[in-house]
Amino acid sequence: MKSRRIIVVGAGPVGVVAALACAQKGFAVTVIESEMKVEDSPRAATTHPATLEMIERIGLIDQFIAQGLVARYFQFWDRPARTLVAEFDHELLRDETRFPFVVQTEQHKLANMGIARLRQFPDSRIMFGTRAIAVRQDSSSVTVTVERPDGREDLSADYLIGADGGRSTIRKGIEIEFEGYTFPEHFLGFTVLDDFQSMLPCCFRNYFADPAEWVNLFKVAGDDGKGRWRAVFPTRTGETDEEALSDEAMHGRLQRAFPIAKTYDVVHRNLYKVHQRVAAKFRSGRIFLAGDAAHVNNTIGGLGLNSGIHDAMELSETIHLVESGQADESLLDRYERRRRSKRCGSSRIACSTRIARDR
Ligand SMILES: Cc1cc2nc3c(=O)[nH]c(=O)nc-3n(C[C@H](O)[C@H](O)[C@H](O)COP(=O)(O)OP(=O)(O)OC[C@H]3O[C@@H](n4cnc5c(N)ncnc54)[C@H](O)[C@@H]3O)c2cc1C
């Protein structure tokens, strides 16, 4: 089976997990990434128990936990009353999973550790600074045209996985609709060095409800391991991006939600659109879509990242079953049947709620 090659477009967390899982099953793999390195701006970090089991299967779990924060609880708060409403305890899943907790490890760390592992496979090729611009296929192969600073090239393989994010060139190239809608408000994420746990008895994952303005607080380890918090807010209707990202609006939002006697130490701010969209098809012949290329959803809860990793694992297993002769080609359609029907909510979280007043 070594002679079978799979091209993965996109070195985000989903593409890298797909590539590594395929390499571990004996496929030769080529990863194509348009950027010069893995994108490391603050994005998803929350990794649920079922996904941790998958990260264990690809042999990265110890590193993954070591580079993140273990979050046993998550909490819902009433923001105006500043009271805890409910706390969920993953420990109640102990009999069902080896990982009765969430791990907050930033997605770029997973991608980077996966690439380092992938480089150990002599048949793997990782091409940064290489953009996929077109794709075509026939009954026996798929060919992607890539563009680099030194020119264009055609690369061929037996299969191609489009894990090239929400604006997927591969999805557009095979003319698959991205059905759904975009939320009217944008999300604002501020990364701060100030410690919210010194202000209120929250945990590492907190959701604050408020009829006027919700806010979520998450702690991540940071690249230096010293810990930092992300506060996520919605923008107001009619608020421009410039306004929302201004110092004045940012500090105003943080201080109104969590007043402190000093100026917040903000190390990163970002603003992004939030969509609820699913590709009309996840498979076209030898081409598959996975991760954000196949589905995007509200980012709260990390379901985009988690369900994307589930796509990657299911897809590598499905192609392996077919190529190793354990199943016939019709199994390839099962990937779409299973993953598309799950849309974005694939995490197996069955935590029990403990109402705060009963504690
Ligand atoms: C700004 C932003 C903030 C987010 N914040 C959160 C958050 O706080 N919490 C949360 O849970 N989720 C968040 N998300 C969503 C989460 O990051 C995604 O669900 C997750 O990244 C999906 O991983 P992926 O590998 O499918 O796609 P991506 O991480 O988008 O990776 C796709 C990769 O493909 C590459 N690529 C794109 N086009 C091409 C091409 N033509 N050729 C070659 N390479 C290409 C890109 O450079 C990228 O590296 C955020 C997303 C964005 C965009």
Asked whether residue 156 falls in the same domain as residue 59, the answer is yes
Picking from 42-46, 173-177, 201-205, 339-343, which range would have the lowest pLDDT averaged per residue? Answer: 339-343
CATH classification at residue 80:
3.30.9.10
Q: Is 43 in the pocket of ligand 1 (CB under 6 A)?
A: yes
Compute the distance between CA of residue 77 and CA of residue 85 in angstroms, rounded to an integer: 5
Q: What is the CATH number of the domain that holds 313?
A: 3.50.50.60
- The pLDDT, as a whole number, for residue 39 is 96
The alpha carbons of the chain give a radius of gyration, in whole angstroms, of 21
pLDDT at 301: 86
* C-beta of 105 in contact with ligand 1 (< 6 A): no
Do 223 and 320 sit in the same domain of this protein? no
Q: Are residues 166 and 308 part of one domain? A: yes
Answer whether residue 355 shows pLDDT above 60: no
Decide if 122 is inside a domain: yes
Total domains in the chain come to: 2
CA distance 257 to 79: 8
Q: What is the percentage of the chain residues whose pLDDT exceeds 70?
A: 95
- Phi, psi of 17, rounded to the nearest 5 degrees: -65, -40
Residue 11's pLDDT is what?
98
290 and 170 in a common domain: yes
**Share of residues in the chain with pLDDT > 90 (%):** 93
Average pLDDT over residues 135-147: 97
For the chain, counts of helices (H) and of strands (E): 9, 23
Mean per-residue pLDDT of the chain? 94
Domain end, chosen from 251, 273, 295, is at: 273
pLDDT category, 359, cuts 50, 70, 90? very low
| 30 close to 155: Cβ distance less than 8 angstroms | yes
Pocket test residue of 47, 164, 271, 343 for ligand 1, highest count of atoms within 8 A of CB: 164
- Examine the domain organization and report whether 109 and 39 are in the same domain: yes
Q: Quick one: average pLDDT of 188-200?
A: 97
From the alpha carbon of 290, which atom of ligand 1 is closest?
26
Q: What are phi and psi of 315, to 5 degrees?
A: -70, -45
Query: Does the pLDDT of residue 347 top 70, yes or no?
Result: no
Q: What is the phi/psi pair of residue 225, to 5°?
A: 75, 5
End-of-domain residue from the set 241, 273, 305: 273
**Per-residue model confidence (pLDDT) at position 343:** 57
Distance 31 CA to ligand 1 centre (A): 15
- Residue 341: band (very low, low, confident or very high) from pLDDT cuts 50, 70, 90: confident
Q: What angle do CA 178, 179, 182 make, to 5 degrees?
A: 95
Helix (H, G, I), strand (E, B) or coil at 235: coil
Q: Atom 37 of ligand 1 has which residue's CA nearest to it?
A: 164
| Residue 206 belongs to domain spanning | 72-102+184-273
Looking at the domain assignment, is residue 216 inside a domain?
Answer: yes
> Which one-letter amino acid corresponds to residue 57?
R
145 lies in the same domain as 58: yes
Among 29-43, 240-254, 344-358, whose mean pLDDT is lowest?
A: 344-358
Pocket flag, ligand 1, residue 12 (CB < 6 Å): yes
In a domain, 357, yes or no: no
Distance CA 111, CA 351 (A): 28
Angle between helices 13-24 and 303-323 (to 10 degrees): 30
242 shares a domain with 112: no
Instruction: Read off the pLDDT of each residue in 324-337 and give the average, rounded to a whole number.
Output: 96
> Based on the domain organization, do 199 and 136 belong to the same domain?
no
